[in-house]
Structure formats: C-alpha cells, structure tokens
Amino acid sequence: MTRKIDYAIGGLVGFFAGVAAIPTAYAVGVHAPLVLLALPWVGAVCIVAGVWLGGLLSRWMPVFAQLARFAAVGILNTAIDFGVLNLVSRALGITAGFILGGVNIPGFAVAVVNSYFWNKLWVFRDHRQDQPVMSDFPTFFAVTLVGVGINSGLVILLTTYLPILSGLAPSARLNLAKIVATMATLIWNFLGYKLVVFRRSSPTA
C-alpha cells in the first residue's frame, strides 16, 4: 500500500540520489553547471512518479508498491555507489585491472549501510518494537556480501577480460560495466531481503 508520506519520502530519496549522481555525471562528460544543479530536482520528480506508478499497479498486485519503494532506494544506493566509485577512481587514476575490485568496495560499503536503514524502515516497514534497529543487520550484511562479490566480480570481468567493451573509453567502459553489475546485484538483493532478512515484517504494517 502506498501512503501519502511515501511520496514525500520518495521525493527526498530522489533528491539525495540526484546529489550523489553529480560526480558520475561529471566523470562521463557532463560539465554544464545548470545540468548538474538540476539533477537533484529531476531525481526527486522521477522517484515521486515511480512511487505513484507503484501505488497504481499495486491495485492489481500489492507487491508493486513495495517494488517501487525498493527501486527508489536502489536508485539512491546506486547513485551513492557510482558517485564514490568515480571519486575514488579519479583520485587514484585507476579505471581497470584487478585492483579495481578494491576501488569498487568503498562506495558499495557506504551504499550498504544506507540501504539497510531505508529498506528496513521504509521499503519493508519492519518496525518491530521488541528488536533493536540493528538486529537484522548481520543477516542483511551476509546477503549483501554475496552481492558485493557479484558486483565487484562483474566489474572486473567486464572492464578487464571481456573484449566486447574494449572499444570504449576507460571511463565509459567502467560505468557501463557498473550498470550491468548493479542490475544483477539489485535482483539478488531484493529477493534476499524480502525472503530472508525482512521476511517477518508485515506487508501492511
């Protein structure tokens, strides 16, 4: 079920995602100040629209409202992940190779902590008063750790060992590989969080 407050939260999530997306946009060649400054507002509008669409589709299948919230949080996490990756990659001058797996981890780690709180409190609405707020974090971290392996492994594979992306510029190759890795990881995470981590939470809470 989509509540009125979900639209406000969605707008906030989208705004933060737009802010976090600025380093990535800059890295791929978007340098116009007005465009960069518009990203947070565009993000807010898009996420609110997504939450609305999820609520509309939930009339036929309730899980769509939850999927819309998960997608919103996923976009924020992705923006954070990409943003930190591009900042660290630019600072160290590393865009390929096995060491890129290590460069990929800081952004993923920041996104994981952010993801836990948004998923627990908003996406899956796990508000159990008898449990500490961090009680599910070990299981959440275990599921996400597998996601780290999937994410970093695909980034390394696509930037270093697969010739199909070799014709692209290093920055473009890195971000395209990251998109593929992120899509695979999002599918894994949603199933893991819903079926394992937050399975005890009520969908109508």
Q: How far is CA 82 from CA 57, 108, 167, in A?
A: 29, 8, 21
Domain annotation covers residue 205: no
Q: What is the pLDDT of residue 90?
A: 83
Domain annotation covers residue 71: yes
Number of domain units in the chain: 1
What domain range is 148 assigned to?
Answer: 4-197
Note the pTM of the prediction, 2 decimals: 0.76
Q: Where does the pLDDT of residue 201 fall: very low under 50, low under 70, confident under 90, or very high at 90 and above? A: low
Q: Where does the pLDDT of residue 204 fall: very low under 50, low under 70, confident under 90, or very high at 90 and above? A: very low
Domain annotation covers residue 26: yes
Scan for tokens 């943003």, then name that residue: 83
Domain annotation covers residue 66: yes
Q: Is the pLDDT of residue 5 over 70?
A: yes
Q: What is the pLDDT of residues 143-169, one digit of tens each?
A: 988 988 898 898 888 888 776 666 777
| φ/ψ of residue 142, rounded to 5 | -65, -45
Q: What is the pLDDT of residues 114-126, one digit of tens each?
A: 999 999 989 988 7
Give me the mean pLDDT over the 96-125 stretch.
85
Domain annotation covers residue 167: yes
On average, the pLDDT of the chain sits at 87
Domain annotation covers residue 165: yes
Domain annotation covers residue 203: no
Q: Which of 33, 34, 1, 38 is nearest to 18 (CA)?
A: 38
Domain annotation covers residue 131: yes
The 3-state secondary structure of the chain, one letter per residue: CCCHHHHHHHHHHHHHHHHHHHHHHHHCCCCCHHHHHHHHHHHHHHHHHHHHHHHHHCCCCCHHHHHHHHHHHHHHHHHHHHHHHHHHHHHHCCCCCCCHHHHHHHHHHHHHHHHHHHHHHHHCCCCCCCCCCCCCHHHHHHHHHHHHHHHHHHHHHHHHHCHHHCCCCHHHHHHHHHHHHHHHHHHHHHHHHHHHHCCCCCCCC
Measured CA to CA, the distance from residue 67 to residue 56 in angstroms comes to: 12
Give me the mean pLDDT over the 77-86 stretch.
91
Q: What is the pLDDT of residues 163-199, one digit of tens each?
A: 666 677 777 878 888 888 888 888 888 889 988 998 7
